[in-house]
Amino acid sequence: MLMFSQTVVDSFRKQNPDLRYGQEFHQFMQLNKIENTADKEFCDRLYQADGEKAIAMIRERTDRTQ
């Protein structure tokens, strides 16, 4: 399962008002390079998500030990 490091998540700042939250995070993390089918499906849903939904999806996959 794809997990995001807490440190990297903390460094992300939404800056482009023309992009959805999930879309900008997707680009920031370069999630287009993911090849695992299950992770790719998650990344595709994240790309389409905005606002609180995207934040919740990211939070679900954040490893707080890193």
Q: List, for residues 1-50, the tens digit of each pLDDT value.
A: 999 999 999 999 999 999 999 999 999 999 999 999 999 999 999 999 99
pTM: 0.94
Q: How far apart are CA 38 and CA 43, in angstroms?
A: 9
Q: For residue 49, what are the domain limits?
A: 22-61
Q: How far apart are CA 40 and CA 23, in angstroms?
A: 14
Asked if the structure places residue 3 within a domain, the reply is no
> 42: how many CB neighbours lie within 10 A of its CB?
18
The number of distinct structural domains making up the chain is 1
What is the distance in angstroms between the CA of the first residue and the CA of the last residue of the chain?
Answer: 16
pLDDT of amino acid 55: 98
CA-closest candidate to residue 29, choices 37, 42, 17, 38: 42
Asked if the structure places residue 17 within a domain, the reply is no
Asked if the structure places residue 34 within a domain, the reply is yes
Asked if the structure places residue 55 within a domain, the reply is yes
CA-closest candidate to residue 64, choices 5, 2, 1, 8: 5
